[in-house]
Amino acid sequence: MGHLAGVSGFAGGAGHGSAGSTTVADADTVLGETTPEHARVDAAWAIRISAILMLLWLAPTLVLVAVVGDNVFAAIALFFSQMAVVTFGGAHAVLAYVAQEAVQSYGWLAPGEMLAGLGMAETTPGPLIMVTQFVGFMGAFRDPGAMHPLLAGTLGGLLTTWVTFTPCFLWIFLGAPFVERLRENRALAASLSTITAAVVGVVLNLAVWFGLHVIFREVETLSGFGFTIDVPVWSTGTCALVQPAKALQ
């Protein structure tokens, strides 16, 4: 969704005026009139940073895939590496994708457990994206192989954290020095503005997904014409929130 929005915004921004903001002179930014020495980059620096971080990121992933093959740890490494590369927009936007894939596609945890993980992450300090560590823990805990479930879950959580954050450091170290220059690209600014609007829809999707699984006892997924939608199963009777309310009476 964000990628399509970005393409449309890029096309629109190429032929229109300002994307809603005025370009600020370098002298008025935190960088001052000149770029600091540590922020000046060249091709050799970019290649060196890319090689180091890609080795740190891809080496464990490729070793896991080559050694264990079709294994939960390989699946965790590949899925969360992909998630770190292709998603953006903040934790709430990313978790909509993670929740649907982890619950519906991989079966690593149940909807109620995903809700518990999000609630736990919301009540603890630190970035919300750390709920992915809980997802990785549960995935490996459920399919430990020859390991003890607790050990497998711990390793799954650590692996999830590693492959989630290492690609992000790659983008930060490689792209941060160019951020100030990108502000002057009118088409790119329009694209990013469109993506920001699309992220609102993704967050709404997350709210609807979690809301359905909190309120209703059973939810089913309907697919057709390239779309999937979660709908409550009304025939199951009482909503999930009614039972706790009755217990308090």
Q: What is the pLDDT of residue 166?
A: 92
**Residue 127 φ/ψ, nearest 5 degrees:** -70, 145
Q: Is 110:99 a contact under the CB 8 Å cutoff?
A: no
pLDDT of residue 242: 52
110-124 average pLDDT score: 83
Lowest-confidence region among 33-42, 63-72, 191-200, 209-218: 33-42
Number of residues assigned to the chain: 249
Domain ranges of the chain: 37-185
Q: Is the pLDDT of residue 141 over 80?
A: yes
- In terms of average pLDDT, the best of 30-44, 52-66, 213-227 is 52-66
Residue 63 CB neighbours (<10 A): 12
Tell me: the pLDDT tens digits for 30-58?
Answer: 555 566 666 666 778 888 888 998 899 98
Counting Cα atoms < 13 Å in the Cβ hemisphere of 21 gives: 13
Of all residues in the chain, the percent with pLDDT exceeding 70 is 74
* Residue range 12-23, pLDDT digits in tens: 554 444 444 455
Mean pLDDT for 151-179 is 88
pLDDT of residue 199: 73
On the question of pLDDT at 178 being above 50, the answer is: yes
Residue range 242-248: mean pLDDT, rounded: 48
**What tokens does 202 get?**
């993704």
Whether the model pTM is above 0.75: no
d(CA 119, CA 215): 15
Q: What is the mean pLDDT of the chain?
A: 76
Which one, of 176, 171, 173, 163, lies nearest residue 129 by Cα?
A: 163
77-103: average pLDDT: 84
Burial code (b: 16+ CB inside 10 Å, e: under 16) for 226-237 equals eeeebebeeeee
Q: Of 48-57, 59-68, 136-145, 237-246, which range is least confident?
A: 237-246
Position 11 pLDDT exceeds 80: no
In percent, the amount of the chain with pLDDT more than 90 equals: 18
- Cβ distance 132 to 91 under 8 Å? no
